[in-house]
């Protein structure tokens, strides 16, 4: 049953990658510019604009790191230094290398466990922005970022949780980090963000989960964490704008027997059939591919799909869909029309097991 997304459809559209932070650094409550006198705000703004410039010296960057590390630095000074490093890494790719080479990873990672929510947010987001550079990913993980990112994902304010999810996604682009992130306990917290987060949190969580669930162990962790129910809820509600993302994650999971069982037990078949009937072309394609995987080894599932009225919309898809969609629809219709004897006969042994 080993399949990749390329077997079903192009997933590049649904999963635009997590970007660098998009929060309002200059106006959000708690940011260095959210309060204070006009002259003080102007001075901070001047320094922040300098930090966004294309050419920053190594001396300037080392000074910011020293402000983070110095025991005598006030919270405000640390906030300002972390914000400037965050912006340096956001706006200039070369700065990401400079900051990493200057030794910023460990001081920034230490902020991830800080009791001050602004420092924690800036630390998480600076790590996210630095992780946009492929050369930094291994060094960030080696500096011990994964477990603190998971704690921030669990306990942070909403924007911190979202950016922690994005940072974990970025690190998971290195295959060996997928295992470490799964072992660290990230997946249940990503499932929680998928279920309870705001619109951006749900998107960030689904992107990270899609990447992490390319390994069997992480798929099992996600299924055990109850991911299938929130995925189906998102798929059943087009207003969330999450149908595509959730459907692609589900397709990833049904490659395992545990995933197929969970999809059926959580009443996923009616949701998938409805998408084949009324979804967009891409949604119809991935829903048909998912139903095909679910039905291939289970006559009882074929019967459920047929009872839901799937054959007419599948026939329509086989005539008007993309080449991949037509292929999946034709294969599924043929499967649904097979007599029970052709499927191997015997008694149904479970919701998804081979009959």
Can you give 141-171 as a three-state secondary structure string?
HHCCCHHHHHHHHHHCCHHHHHHHHHHHHHH
**How far is Cα 259 from Cα 282, in angstroms, rounded to an integer?**
21
Q: What is the pLDDT of residue 273?
A: 98
Residue 1: exposed, middle, or buried by beta-carbon count in 10 A (0-12, 13-18, 19+)? Answer: exposed
8 A C-beta contact, residue 236 and residue 275? no
Q: What is the pTM of this model?
A: 0.86
Say what the alpha-carbon torsion angle 334, 336, 337, 342 is, to the nearest 10 degrees. Answer: 90
Beta carbons within 8 Å of 2's beta carbon, 6+ residues apart: 255
**What H or E segment, with its residue span, contains residue 284?**
helix 281-295
pLDDT, tens digit, 9 for 90 and up, residues 103-135: 999 999 999 999 999 999 999 999 999 999 999
For residues 349 and 337, give the distance between their C-alpha atoms in angstroms, rounded to a whole number: 21
Are the beta carbons of 262 and 231 closer than 8 angstroms? no
- Measured CA to CA in angstroms, residue 162 lies from 3, 87, 159, 308 at distances of 29, 17, 5, 37
Tens place of pLDDT per residue across the chain (355 aa):
444 444 444 455 666 556 655 544 434 444 444 444 445 555 555 455 555 554 568 899 999 999 999 999 999 999 999 999 999 999 889 999 999 999 999 999 999 999 999 999 999 999 999 999 999 999 999 999 999 999 999 999 999 999 999 999 999 999 999 999 999 999 999 999 999 999 999 999 999 999 999 999 999 999 999 999 999 999 999 999 999 999 999 999 999 999 999 999 999 999 999 999 999 999 999 999 999 999 998 999 999 999 999 999 999 999 998 999 999 999 999 999 987 655 444 333 344 554 5
| Distance from the Cα of residue 158 to its chain's centroid | 15
Q: How confident is the model at residue 321, as a pLDDT?
A: 84
pLDDT in tens, 306-328: 999 999 999 999 999 899 999 99
């Amino acid at each position: 049953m080993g399949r990749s997304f390329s077997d079903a459809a192009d997933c590049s559209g649904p999963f635009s990658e997590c970007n660098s932070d998009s929060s309002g650094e200059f106006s959000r409550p708690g940011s260095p510019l959210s309060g204070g006198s006009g002259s003080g705000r102007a001075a901070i703004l001047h320094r922040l604009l300098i930090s966004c410039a294309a050419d920053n010296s190594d001396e300037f960057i080392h000074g910011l790191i020293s402000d983070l590390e110095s025991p005598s630095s006030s919270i405000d000074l640390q906030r300002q230094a972390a914000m400037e490093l965050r912006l340096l890494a956001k706006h200039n790719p070369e700065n990401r290398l400079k900051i990493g080479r200057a030794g910023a990873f460990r001081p920034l990672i230490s902020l991830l466990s800080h009791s001050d929510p602004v420092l924690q947010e800036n630390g998480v987001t600076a790590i996210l922005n630095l992780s946009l550079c492929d050369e930094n990913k291994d060094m960030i993980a080696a500096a011990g970022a994964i477990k603190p990112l998971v704690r921030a994902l669990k306990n942070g304010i909403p924007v911190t949780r979202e950016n922690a999810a994005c940072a974990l996604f970025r690190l998971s682009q290195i295959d060996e980090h997928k295992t470490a992130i799964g072992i660290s306990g990230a997946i249940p917290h990503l499932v929680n963000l998928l279920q309870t987060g705001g619109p951006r949190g749900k998107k960030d969580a689904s992107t990270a989960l899609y990447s992490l669930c390319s390994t069997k162990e992480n798929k099992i962790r996600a299924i055990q964490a109850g991911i299938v129910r929130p995925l189906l809820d998102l798929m059943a509600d087009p207003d969330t704008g999450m149908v595509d993302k959730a459907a692609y994650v589900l397709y990833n999971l049904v490659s395992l027997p545990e995933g197929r069982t969970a999809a059926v037990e959580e009443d996923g078949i009616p949701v998938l059939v409805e998408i084949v009937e009324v979804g967009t072309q891409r949604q119809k394609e991935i829903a048909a591919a998912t139903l095909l995987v679910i039905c291939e080894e289970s006559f009882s599932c074929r019967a459920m799909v047929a009872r839901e009225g799937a054959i007419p919309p599948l026939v329509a898809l086989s005539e008007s869909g993309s080449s991949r969609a037509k292929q999946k629809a034709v294969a599924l219709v043929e499967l649904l029309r097979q007599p029970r004897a052709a499927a191997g006969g015997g008694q149904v042994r479970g919701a998804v097991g081979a009959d």
